[in-house]
């Protein structure tokens, strides 16, 4: 085996987004493209000589070839040991768990999360630091700067590693350990939740659940946890075999793309509980019998009931939520007498708060929820949290939500996504809002009067770092608001996200559909941003 130094030239499109670098598979397959980015990581993260890294991905197309390349590059760059998931599989939450358990230097996650897979789909690479969380902006910026000037990379001339056999192999001077992808994560879950009580719920014959793994990475974890450790009947997990193209589906757990699960939970003889997770296992959707729980409400309910769960019995240090997420959790925090932090979108912004023990639970409206047990959002953790609460309270999801709203009021909330918008049109739309912003204060739109318009800026309370231009906010005097953002997770065109929120302190006993409650704000958003005319779309691609 010999180390090869390969001459290369920079690619100028390797700036990591909110969750690493995401591109079409065909882009990553270009000669030197993946290698340039991986070498830029190794060149930017400090002294890696002899260190341990964790490596795995969500099993999408190109996962295995990419892992072989990264292993050989790691060996050539002086890494001492790599723990890689069996078959190249490690969910994003499991990667964070393993980094933390084994005190690794960091980890590389191969995933484009909820984006489509397959040969014509997307691929992604993300670096996680030693606390198990996504690299902060100062690290991703250093990686990006390196990609712009890189002129060589190092790789070992060696045979491929057998990724399917658990055990230890030498690759040059580096030790490669293929580990069980599930066991460390499953053991952590069992330490946090009352598995005996959840087992009674799932095996008692009165409660039925359906877990949709969407042919993505959590299939392996869901079978092991729900059907094996917790004894749920076979068939509880659907679409549970991870596939490179996610069964030709879109592994985004929302009401549009998780259509099979939605049909079951809103059909005849529906189960009591339904859940779905995404491509890499860090997102979740929670459903009841004919009932959808918004991610914002989910965070609030978990916070309000946290002391029912063994791992959180001593209470919460605080709650953190992304700016576009509704203020439902803020109301719980106020009642509990704890702080609630508002951060930009991107899980990396929660890391400092969790490390400093300022927050215990975190959540984003984009179907991501998590806690201080790892430093990533965690789909199956959220499902188990809900099951633990339901096992204790012996209530349906609908009655639990109604009880919550009667206690805290209801934040009517929705997100409208316009996907695949031409970049020029999307930028023109955002520019138009910026242009109008200085004149909006005091302007009336029907019963709504504008109180402020700004672009959200965040100063990290731990390290003082400042993140600007994190989303346009239009707030009204009654506390309602509209938020506009261009998403950083897509690979083609732009995705416009519009977030709408209105609070009602005394909501009616019979729940009102959020789209009806928000109808006036939806019309105002279109008037303000000229969404239909500039996007050319009559309606959103996805409504959640």
Write the pLDDT tens digit of every residue in 274-287: 999 999 999 999 99
Which of the four pLDDT bands, split at 50, 70 and 90, describes residue 493? confident
pLDDT (0 to 100) of residue 490: 52
Single residue among 146, 181, 216 that ends a domain in this structure:
181
Half-sphere exposure of 91 (CA within 13 A, CB side): 34
Does 483 share its domain with 441?
Answer: yes
Query: Cα separation of 103 and 27, whole Å?
Result: 33
| Mean predicted confidence (pLDDT) in 158-183 | 97
Other CB atoms within 10 A of residue 142 CB: 16
Strand locations in 344-493, DSSP E? 361-364, 368-371, 410-421, 444-445, 448-455, 458-459, 466-467, 472-476, 481-486
pLDDT (0 to 100) of residue 230: 98
Does 419 share its domain with 394?
Answer: no
Q: What is the DSSP string of 64-113?
A: HHHHHHHHHHHHHTT--EEEEEEEEE--HHHHHHHHHHTT-SEEEEE--T
Query: Cα separation of 29 and 26, whole Å?
Result: 5
Q: Which of 229-238, 472-481, 485-494 has the lowest mean pLDDT?
A: 485-494
pLDDT (0 to 100) of residue 487: 78
Single residue among 181, 199, 229 that ends a domain in this structure:
181
Does 319 share its domain with 416?
Answer: no
**Residue 113 a catalytic site member:** yes
Does 360 share its domain with 216?
Answer: yes
Does 158 share its domain with 277?
Answer: no
Query: What pLDDT digit, counting tens, does each position of 25-45 carry?
Result: 999 999 999 999 999 999 999
Other CB atoms within 10 A of residue 341 CB: 22
Domains identified in the chain, total number? 3
Does 92 share its domain with 208?
Answer: no
Does 285 share its domain with 420?
Answer: no
Does 402 share its domain with 295?
Answer: yes
Q: Among 40, 91, 113, 181, which one carries the catalytic annotation?
A: 113
Question: CATH number of the domain that 294 lies in?
Answer: 3.40.120.10
Given a cut of 80, whether residue 541 has pLDDT beyond it is yes
Average pLDDT, the chain: 95
Query: What pLDDT digit, counting tens, does each position of 201-239 carry?
Result: 999 999 999 999 999 999 999 999 999 999 999 999 999
Q: Which of 310-314, 319-323, 513-517 has the lowest mean pLDDT?
A: 513-517
pLDDT (0 to 100) of residue 17: 82
Single residue among 388, 408, 428 that ends a domain in this structure:
408
Contact predicate 331/409, CB 8 Å: yes
Does 298 share its domain with 150?
Answer: no
Does 401 share its domain with 414?
Answer: no
Q: Which domain holds residue 135?
A: 2-181
Query: Is-above-0.85 flag for pTM?
Result: yes
pLDDT (0 to 100) of residue 491: 54
Does 397 share its domain with 268?
Answer: yes
Does 391 share its domain with 468?
Answer: no
Given a cut of 90, whether residue 262 has pLDDT beyond it is yes
């Amino acid at each position: 085996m010999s180390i090869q130094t390969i001459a290369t030239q920079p690619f100028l499109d390797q700036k990591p987004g909110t969750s690493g670098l995401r591109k079409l598979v065909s882009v990553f397959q270009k000669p030197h493209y993946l290698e340039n980015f991986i070498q830029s990581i190794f060149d930017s993260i400090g002294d890696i000589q002899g260190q341990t890294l964790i490596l795995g991905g969500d099993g999408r197309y190109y996962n295995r070839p990419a892992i072989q390349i990264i292993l050989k590059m790691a060996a050539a760059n002086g890494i001492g040991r790599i723990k890689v998931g069996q078959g190249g599989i490690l969910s994003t939450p499991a990667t964070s768990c393993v980094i933390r358990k084994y005190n690794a230097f960091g980890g590389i996650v191969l995933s484009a999360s909820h984006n489509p897979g397959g040969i014509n789909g997307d691929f992604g690479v993300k670096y996680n630091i030693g606390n198990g969380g996504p690299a902060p902006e100062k690290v991703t910026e250093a990686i990006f700067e390196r990609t712009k000037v890189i002129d060589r990379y190092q790789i070992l001339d060696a045979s491929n590693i057998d990724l399917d056999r658990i055990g230890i192999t030498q690759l040059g001077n580096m030790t490669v350990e293929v580990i069980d992808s599930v066991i460390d994560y499953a053991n952590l879950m069992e330490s946090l939740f009352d598995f005996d009580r959840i087992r009674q719920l799932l095996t008692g014959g009165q409660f039925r659940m359906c877990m949709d793994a969407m042919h993505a990475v959590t299939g392996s974890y869901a079978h092991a946890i729900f059907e094996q450790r917790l004894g749920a009947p076979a068939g509880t997990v659907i679409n549970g075999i991870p596939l490179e193209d996610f069964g030709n589906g879109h592994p985004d757990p929302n009401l549009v793309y998780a259509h099979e699960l939605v049909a079951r939970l809103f059909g005849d003889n529906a189960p009591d509980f339904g859940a779905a997770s995404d491509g890499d296992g860090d997102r979740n959707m929670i459903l009841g019998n004919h009932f959808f729980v918004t991610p914002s409400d989910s965070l609030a309910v978990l916070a309000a009931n946290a002391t029912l769960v063994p791992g959180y019995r001593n209470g919460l240090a605080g709650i953190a939520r992304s700016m576009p997420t509704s203020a439902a959790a803020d109301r719980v925090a106020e009642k509990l007498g704890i702080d609630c932090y508002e951060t930009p979108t991107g899980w990396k912004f929660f890391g400092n708060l969790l490390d400093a023990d300022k927050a215990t639970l975190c959540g984003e409206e984009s179907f991501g929820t998590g806690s201080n047990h790892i430093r990533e959002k965690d789909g199956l953790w959220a499902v188990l949290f809900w099951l633990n609460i339901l096992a204790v309270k012996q209530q349906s999801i609908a009655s639990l939500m109604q009880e919550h709203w009667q206690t805290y009021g209801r934040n009517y909330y929705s997100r409208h996504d316009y996907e695949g918008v031409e970049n020029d049109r999307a930028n023109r739309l955002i520019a138009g809002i910026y242009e109008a912003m200085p004149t909006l204060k005091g302007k009336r739109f029907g019963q709504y009067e504008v109180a402020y318009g700004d672009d959200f800026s965040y100063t990290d309370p731990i390290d003082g770092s400042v993140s600007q231009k994190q989303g346009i906010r239009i707030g009204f005097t009654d506390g309602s608001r509209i938020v506009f953002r261009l998403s950083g997770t897509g690979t083609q065109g732009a995705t416009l996200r519009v977030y709408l929120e209105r609070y009602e302190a005394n909501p009616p006993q019979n729940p009102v559909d959020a789209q009806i409650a928000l109808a006036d704000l939806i019309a105002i958003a279109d008037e303000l941003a000229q969404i239909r005319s500039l996007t050319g779309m009559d309606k959103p691609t996805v409504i959640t």
